[in-house]
Structure 1
Amino acid sequence: MVQVGEKAPNFTLPDTENRARTLKEFLAQKAVLFFCVDAFTANATKELCQFRDATSSLINLNAQIVGVDPKAPAENKQLAEKHRLRFPILSDQKGEVAQAYGLDGAKRAVFVLDEGGVVAYRWVAKDAVGDPDYGAIAQILQAAPKLHAELVVPSVITVSRQVGSGGDEIAREVAKLLGWAYFDKTLMVEVGREVGVSEEDIVDFCEDTYKVQTLVDKMLLRKKPAKQSFTIKDNAHIRKTLEEEHCLSTIQTVINNLASRGKTVIVGRGGQAILKHKLGVLHVRIVAPKTVRVERVMQSEGLSLQEAQRLVEENDKATAEYLQRFYSIDWEDPANYDIVLSTSKIDFATAAKMIATAATQNTSA
């Protein structure tokens, strides 16, 4: 059996969409692997649901949850959809991976791996009694990433941009130059479906759709509301908070799973905060002087000078508040980025080439 301190065996297994996934691609962050022998038994399903309920907090601790189950991909897909499991479930139909991890005779098992693929925590149950120590798991996940961890294959670029800076155009060109995916609504739905999030639950709650809170909102809207036992349909402030928390959790789940794929350019949505501690991620900020941005917005949107100024100012305020309120980061702090580019004196194509070059060096270093 694989012990704490040992390297976890690599593997390749199909996910619920029958796509081959390897362990290594999940190690852009710490990973929590759990094995269930009989996924459709009551006890095993309960265990899966416990992991589902813990997904949000574990993701906030920079962890990728991965399930391994002996059922066929189609059956696991049914399970994921029925119980809204927001993490990949891989099919180990021959039991070869379970055997490689020394799980002969075990009913359930949990392994926590660091970014280098080394086992930091192990829990094995030969019956349906007991649960893993979630407190110990959280403590391990809260530890800082190991600097000596091997460079992983997946690479991701997050792009934070000021409106009118050309950030969206540049990000698309970077994705094109590298042959990477560009994170848009279509990709969000696709990845969400993989981890058990239905399309109707995908709400792109990002800084572009966020509105600056009024004074009343700030006084009455709590960031992390306690669970309520009463009906909330008539309490707009609490309902709004719960909806925001749900939308944020969904976006964080999707972005973390997308980061495990690698080779993706993510624009906005707090990517620089969500993926802050993950290996193989290049954080980019694209800016330009306000006068330049206002002029560009006037031309692109057909607005008057006054209208363009208001749009730029409102967008800047909303983005800054969104990132501060939900992720406690200063949007303008250059320490949150690896590269800060101003497009006042360089064209978008040149900026894209600079970022693509840096990303290539980042992944091959």
Structure 2
Amino acid sequence: MTALQPEQRAGILPLAAALTTPAIFRAISGLHPRLRAVAGYHCGLTDRHGVPMAARRGKMLRPALVFLAARSVGSGVERAVAGATAVQLVHEFSLLHDDIMDGDPERRGRLAAWRVFGTSVTLLAGDALLASAVATLDGLPAAQSELAAAMTRLCWGQAEDLHTGPEPSVAHWEQLAAAKSGALLAASCRIGAVLADADPTSTAELGRCGFHLGLAFQAIDDWLGIWGDPACTGKPVGTDIAARRLCLPVVFGLADPGPASRHLTELLLVESVPTLSDFASVVAALDLSHAGESTLAYARRHATLALDCLATLPLPPAVLGEWSELIRFLTARTA
């Protein structure tokens, strides 16, 4: 299995963090003390006791897309801060709830919030972050509408992912990924555009760019869930396989006409919980079917489609360079 190249963080990501983090901190500071403790810990701003600490943030990809989309239609980033804050708060809400639903014990290299504070208060903290996201866009109805549509799609995807559904296929995986990852990334681009008063055509093209980036992002996430380094990803490998969640490498492996597909079927479609030995066998079968390479190729293909969407817009060279840098980061990241 060919590993991803070491990542180099795109320049827009630290800028997005610097512009958005103060607003996120303000939103969290207004919550009930118990909810503030959960949200601050989960967002990487405080330790479990509520003491401020060096930030352990996520990638800040969604705020970066808001800012880049605004810049793509000739606006400064200042007009887009509210949108960037809102999409990151929605993302943090979704992670809090996802960790509980999936039973994932770790997030960003430490215990998930529900393991530290308990399920009930963590669910409530997620609800509070979602409410804060909506409130952040008060007085901005077009952006608020985009966010609401994305949240509806995100919840649809999560609900669909709770049951086994049809036989695994790339089409079914895409349907889930488009809702769970693509919807919020597309909305981030569209929100940046509408906050910059972009025309409908530019807004639609930027939204399509975000949609393709969502598919590429989820494909890389699925790859990292099997072949990633836990020291970099902050999560143990194999959790998707253990929970029998639909992930793209397994879809490709099952579709392979060779013996790897039969072996995967025997390992994954039985009722018993996979052991460490089973996981090693699954990875060996995936390697035999070149499922990892197929997954990376899929991600690169959708990254190219995202760039094709941008090619329809009259972007300043510097902005196009920032987009290219961010897309390279997404397809080569190790966490």
- Structure index of larger Rg: 1
The structure with the largest helix share of the pair is: 2
TM-score (norm 2): 0.29
TM-score, normalised via structure 1 length: 0.27
